[in-house]
Structure 1
């Protein structure tokens, strides 16, 4: 939004929402038309100048948020979604909330790590523009596989994030998985790759979804030709429940001994835990096992999820045995 239109939208919003003026009254004061005032109010909402909150006394979201916050020590946003919506529609609703949550957290001079995947692709389509300076969007993991370079898929996500925040985009042009761990070791010594790794090490925000082997809405890493049958068998025998940025973990959050991680180009879980703000976006109850594993691994500081998944998470935790 141009600076003059931004100022007009802010004035209109203040008069409408804070001073309770009608659109006709605002139009007279701004010496414009009622339709222009309507467009300014819409622009104020779309740009994040105005955020609408509805307090429903029957809403169980706040209760679920409190339970999840206390159990996992995360800031949580539960998105109310009708049970009649399918998984794709639910994902879209969660993505809208995620985009609105992420915007205020992004500041100038930030290095923001973004993982590619079905969830982040949806989120990237709903980002609202915010002016920042000297910010960087860095890709967290490679996207190539045996069938495609993955550049178009991943770069579209990174480009949308970069455009939304006026940030420089740094792609990671390596495969999602190397065929051999030794190849990864050699590539990690290349200066061009080290530059990206150094940016990742300085991240102030990491944004990611949770991949899940058995999700109804397939995670891209499992549906996009990244893993062959032998790889899937390895995951099964290693009791893997999910991944973040193509780094796999078990239901207890552990990742040691999972040999595919030695060939993965995503940041190790220990490195990810060093990032100050870690925003995890999850949609769909079929990802519950992956989500529980990610939370057990302490990978998230912020969690955005749909109401049905939140309820399932709380139900699981209420039945889980406690140590001691």
Structure 2
């Protein structure tokens, strides 16, 4: 049977009249454990208490706010050499390579790269920042991004009638604006209105404001779609199975293109409320956000066509892109 009488004498001196540990003792135990790296046995001997009491001291120190613990996801340095080689191979201004996504949350992995790309864009209040639809950008805007006070955030494509969250473009734009402390400029229009509605929508002053930003925006975040026939969710404009789906390797702004980066012109394109692919070439910082080996062909075709000039992707996709661009 153990004798803890010595420990009991130490404990009595460390407990307040309310049955709580003296804050000075909590601080002394926490300082020894978290700063001086003393063991609990060493602290127990120093304070004249039992080891279980040291554990309680440390727990109460955390509860009292004397000790705060912050768990941070490790920051990975981007693979600068791979990023540089890939930018040269695809004719891009800059590539941001994040750690491989694997089974991790896509948005959490890519958001730091997107943040660096937005910081490089050097946006100021009143500048336009566009954002497209898509699963990847939809996930990225759920994570921390740099503050861009007063920046105007607008969708590149209509989407009010879409059932899937990644194609609810106003919601994506609103969430991005909240993240960066910007101002949302929303597009109150379906992506593909009827012919009668289309002409009247274009006369609406709110829609005219968005269309104006398409011409003057300093930056854009663009999701790059995989080949339509490989996808489980798509915008409503892709519904049905038209023949053009077989030749499309990807899409941006719900506008498909082929392996050569040539936009696939459809009859419905005349009333599609979406920024044209050719217009993206005029955006100073057109930032594609894409990951996955199923998007290799769509990323390469769009990059070589000039639909974006910056790319955020992960290490695995970047390596596959480099090999594909070199014909390996």
Q: TM-score, normalized by length of structure 1? A: 0.70
Instruction: After superposition, give the CA deviation of every residue in 1:272-301 in whole Å (9 maximum; x if it has no partner).
Output: 111111110001111112112211211112
| Corresponding position: 1:80 with 2:99 | yes
| Corresponding position: 1:228 with 2:242 | no
Identify the residue that residue 135 of structure 1 maps to in structure 2: 151
**How far apart are the structure 2 equivalents of 1:291 and 1:152?**
20
Report how far residue 34 of structure 1 moved: 7.1
Q: Unpaired runs of 5+ in structure 1?
A: 1-22, 26-32, 56-60
Identify the residue that residue 196 of structure 1 maps to in structure 2: 210
**How far apart are the structure 2 equivalents of 1:201 and 1:155?**
19
**How far apart are the structure 1 equivalents of 2:164 and 2:106?**
26
Report how far residue 214 of structure 1 moved: 4.8
In 2 relative to 1, CA 301–319 (structure 1 residues): closer, same or farther, beyond 3 Å?
same
SS, match of residue 211 in structure 1: coil
In 2 relative to 1, CA 65–131 (structure 1 residues): closer, same or farther, beyond 3 Å?
closer
Q: Unpaired runs of 5+ in structure 2?
A: 1-33, 37-64
Give the number of the structure whose alpha-carbon radius of gyration is greater. Answer: 2
Of 58, 64, 83, 1:65 maps to: 83
| Corresponding position: 1:117 with 2:134 | yes
| Corresponding position: 1:252 with 2:260 | yes
Instruction: After superposition, give the CA deviation of every residue in 1:230-254 in whole Å (9 maximum; x if it has no partner).
Output: xx324235x2111111122111111
Identify the residue that residue 157 of structure 1 maps to in structure 2: 172
In 2 relative to 1, CA 67–226 (structure 1 residues): closer, same or farther, beyond 3 Å?
same
Identify the residue that residue 319 of structure 1 maps to in structure 2: 327
Residues 159-308 of structure 1: matches in 2 within 5 Å? 159-180=174-195, 184-214=198-228, 218=232, 220=233, 222=234, 225-229=236-240, 232-236=241-245, 239-255=247-263, 257-308=265-316
In 2 relative to 1, CA 131–236 (structure 1 residues): closer, same or farther, beyond 3 Å?
closer
**How far apart are the structure 2 equivalents of 1:312 and 1:277?**
24
**CA RMSD after TM alignment:** 3.2
**How far apart are the structure 1 equivalents of 2:313 and 2:181?**
27
**How far apart are the structure 2 equivalents of 1:64 and 1:296?**
18
**How far apart are the structure 1 equivalents of 2:266 and 2:132?**
20
Report how far residue 208 of structure 1 moved: 0.9
CA contact (8 A) 2:160 2:189 kept: yes
**How far apart are the structure 2 equivalents of 1:319 and 1:260?**
35
**How far apart are the structure 1 equivalents of 2:279 and 2:81?**
32
Identify the residue that residue 47 of structure 2 maps to in structure 1: none
In 2 relative to 1, CA 226–126 (structure 1 residues): closer, same or farther, beyond 3 Å?
same
**How far apart are the structure 2 equivalents of 1:149 and 1:34?**
46
**How far apart are the structure 1 equivalents of 2:83 and 2:202?**
40
Count how many residue pairs are aligned between Structure 1 and Structure 2: 264
SS, match of residue 260 in structure 2: coil
CA contact (8 A) 2:100 2:315 kept: yes
CA contact (8 A) 2:76 2:99 kept: no
Instruction: After superposition, give the CA deviation of every residue in 1:155-208 in whole Å (9 maximum; x if it has no partner).
Output: 33222211122211111121122354x753553244442222112211011111
| Corresponding position: 1:309 with 2:317 | yes
